[in-house]
Structure 1
Amino acid sequence: MSRFPESFMNRFHALLAVAALSSVAMPAQAQEAPISFVAIGDTGYIPAYETLDEDEEPFATLGEYLGAHAEGWLDHHPDLSDFTPTPWTFESTLGGFTSASGMYPVARAAAEVCASQGCDFGAMLGDNIYPDGATLGADGISDARRFSDMLDKPYGRFGAGTENFTIYTMMGNHDWHISREATEAQLTYLQQHPNFTMPDLFYKAVPVGMEGEVEIFVVDTEMLLASTTVYKDELDAEGNEIQTGELESWDDYVKPASPAEKNMVSWLEQSLAQSNARWKVVFGHHALWSSGGSKYEKARSLRKLLLPAICKYADAYISGDDHLMEAYSDDCSTVADAADGPVPMFVAGAGSKYRQQDVAFAAQQKANNPQMTNLFSKGSTWGFLHVTLQDDLLNAAIYSTPGDMSGRPIKEFEQSFANRSK
């Protein structure tokens, strides 16, 4: 007979069972806390701010609008079997039908993912204000109204409730349309707004509390393109590149003006090399690979400038500009002394506008560039990117949100990539 009461023995055996279950459930080594962020590009499209060129007529009927979009679809696809027109709205300021904006559906969908998956900070990838950035009132619309409608209202309280949350911001080509003074007016607004961080046109930053873990590096790709040789894009019917020899041009005010601006590429390489962060992520407006078919010459010029630094020292490159949701990897075989492993590259330029993927060009690009792998592409959708950094893995998830304006997040793609900059 036991010398302990039956009630004590029952409790003792129950405790042993709990301990046994706990020992099974406990991992051999606890995982590090994840660091997550959301990246959204080309957010600033509002139809009421658009204007028609002098030779343009508004689409007076929905049929005219859909017909024009079907013709555009056939420029990039063999038939209309998967035709997906951009959601439409009748815009009274234009007098006709035009493309609706995904600004608020994307913002709501991203906020929902951040609430469920976590977001410690955000990144806005340029083209924050359509169609021409700030104008200093030259078009009769105050910049204060633009900043309120395109920056503060959709994203001024994004991430509320998360300590030290901020959105790291940059300029895109549309943000540079009017003048350097107008671009700097947007910069000043972003610097003064409590929910955005943009200390300069290009910069590096360590999110609060993430010292030694994450450092971001923002480059102004429009300024870089204005400083180098860029040819105009042209494709034949099969998606093959046509070499026209014609050059793109930029206004002088976009070109690097200060010694620091002229030294941006060297600054990036030196800053990446000197960083002690485990994760080094480079952001820029323009993609280094994309499949819209009208950006490939800009991408080629930027790869010449940026790939050496990124392949040697960075863990990822994230961009907008092409209004698609895409994931690529570049094996860095074109760069001497590159770090081991491919660099993941993401295009998240569908924050308010659609673009169709050019399927013929995408196939030609894949065939002619063995160093590049196209992991995922989806056009004709709104969307955003969510990234989680944990242990030695970068997990990237691409989300879309449907054209019904519901703001529902739909996961389209997810893949993990190894840290390469340790």
Structure 2
Amino acid sequence: MTAMKNKIYTTILLVVYAVVATVNVAAELQRFEHLPTKADGSLDILVIGDWGRRGLYNQSHVAFQMGKIGEEMDVDFILSTGDNFYDDGLIDVDDPLFDESFTQIYTATSLQKQWYSVLGNHDYRGDVMAQLSPVLSHKDSRWLCLRSFIVDSGIVELFFVDTTPFQDKYFNQTKHTYDWRGVLPREEYLSNVLKEVDTALKESSATWKFVIGHHTLFSAGHHGNTQELVDQLLPILEANDVDLYINGHDHCLQHISSKNSQLQFLTSGGGSKAWKGDVNQWDPNEMKLYYDGQGFMALRVTVNEIGVTFYDVFGEIIHSWKTSKYTHMDA
């Protein structure tokens, strides 16, 4: 009887989420508060992307090193830059891939923190509503995945953007099927996303602003630049003094500095299958790191400083970078 009740409850939740997701109206982005707990007010964050392969392609090795570094840092939460489940997302909320690629892999004590996730293009090939469903959060309380949303951590606000619907090629190709529920009509959806992100960035009073999406803005890797985002999203980021754009998609670790603003482009897409072997030429004054392999990224954020560190699959530091910002309160 209990199993039947749970099944009915699950079905009701999925129906509600399906209805909400297909209503395409402009609205304020959903906001979550995740304030610092350390005495000095700092935040420590891990960033992983392109990972969900049942532990294969060194996913388990990367997870092990994340656990070690997470313990050293006393990490506050984890960001996933999308392509959470390969190759074709989740079949439904009961898909064992969720447990086999997430719950059973990221088992370290330090990783039993909130995970904030965006969707990638591979996630859109499955049942998108399953990944967005609270049923998964009931199965593993760490899981939170939405299309576009905000995490307010006081000194920093993190703006998550659903980037897959921006790319024309996913709507034109016939090789794969994508779950566009909640996205169509596409023009209206994209217009709403851009307006909501722009408004939220303008209203933000946080010292630091980070934007997280799956797709690259700029990349020397296999996928390269995402021109639709360069044309539509980048001007909003530059106009609103965003500090970091964080993405996955290219299965590498990468740091590119903007020559037009303080904006840094950080790729953390080395959660599992990597080593593409094709790297495009880039201005060495802008390219601070390109590592064609597996690993993850760590962020340390204080009132005055951001520290970025990239780790490879062996837990070795391969690149670090810092920047400072002093507010009126510090003068």
CA distance in 1, matches of 2:268, 2:161: 16
Answer yes or no: is the 8 Å Cα contact 2:238–2:263 preserved in 1.
yes
Matched letter for residue 161 of structure 2? V
Any idea what the Cα deviations from partners look like across 1:252-275, whole Å, max 9, x if unmatched?
743823755541011111111111
Superposed CA offset, 1:212-236 (max 9, x none)? 312111111102224xxx69xxxxx
Contact 1:389 1:395 (C-alpha < 8 Å) held by counterparts: yes
Task: Report if aligned partners of 1:37, 1:120 keep a CA contact under 8 Å in 2.
Answer: yes
CA deviations over 1:139-184 (Å, ceiling 9, x no partner)? xxx84311111122123666357xxx31111111100113xxx111
Q: CA deviation at 1:117?
A: 2.3
- Residue 120 (structure 2) pairs with residue 172 (structure 1): yes
> How far apart are residue 114 of structure 1 and its match?
1.3
Please give the residue correspondences for 1:216-365 in structure 2 after superposition, counting only pairs within 5 Å.
216-226=158-168, 253-254=179-180, 256-257=183-184, 262-296=191-225, 299-313=226-240, 314-332=242-260, 341-359=261-279, 361=280, 363=281, 365=282
Please show how residues 202-221 of structure 1 align to structure 2 within 5 Å: 202-206=148-152, 210=153, 212-221=154-163
- Give the TM-score of the pair, scaled to structure 1: 0.61
Q: Distance in 2 between matches of 1:106 and 1:117?
A: 16
Question: Whole-Å Cα distance in 2 between the matches of residues 153 and 345 of structure 1?
Answer: 31
Deviation for aligned residue 1:357: 4.5
Q: Is the 8 A contact 1:316 1:345 kept in 2?
A: yes
Aligned to 1:184: 129
Hey, what's the Cα distance between the residues in 2 that align with 1:305 and 1:295? 17
Larger Rg over CA atoms = 1
Measured in 2, the distance between the counterparts of 1:421 and 1:190 equals: 40
Deviation, structure 1 residue 251: 5.7
Deviations 1:57-79 (A, max 9, x none): xxxxxxxxxxxxxxxxxxxxxxx
User: Residue type matched to 2:234 in 1?
Assistant: L
Between the aligned partners of 1:328 and 1:160, the Cα distance in structure 2 is 28
Determine if the alignment matches structure 1 residue 154 to structure 2 residue 162. no
CA distance in 2, matches of 1:378, 1:285: 18
Counting only pairs closer than 5 Å after superposition, residues 373-412 of structure 1 correspond to structure 2 as: 373-379=286-292, 381-401=293-313, 408-412=314-318
Check whether the contact 1:256–1:262 (CA below 8 A) recurs between aligned residues: no
Match of 1:93 in 2: none
Sequence identity percentage: 24
Amino acid at match of 1:351: G
TM-score of the superposed pair, with normalisation by structure 2:
0.77
Q: 1:37 to 1:145 in 2, by over 3 A?
A: same
- In the alignment, the residues of structure 1 paired with residue 326 and residue 90 of structure 2 have an alpha-carbon distance, to the nearest angstrom, of 39
Amino acid at match of 2:290: S
Q: Structure 2: which 5+ runs fail to align?
A: 1-38
Over residues 361-390 of structure 1, what are the superposed CA-to-partner deviations in whole Å (9 max), with x where a residue is unaligned? 2x2x438xxxx81111010x2100001112
Give the whole-Å Cα distance in 2 for the aligned partners of 1:177 and 1:323.
18
Deviations along 1:277-311, one digit per CA (max 9) or x if unpaired, are 22211100011111223333xx2221111111211
Q: CA–CA distance in 2 between the matches of 1:160 and 1:41?
A: 15
Counterpart in the other structure of 1:124: 80
Q: Which amino acid aligns with 1:218?
A: F
Alignment size in residue pairs:
283
Q: Which amino acid aligns with 1:149?
A: E
CA 1:373–1:248 in structure 2 vs 1: closer, same or farther (change >3 Å)?
farther
Unpaired runs of 5+ residues, structure 1, are 1-30, 48-99, 137-141, 232-246, 333-340, 402-407
Map 1:13-24; keep pairs closer than 5 Å.
none
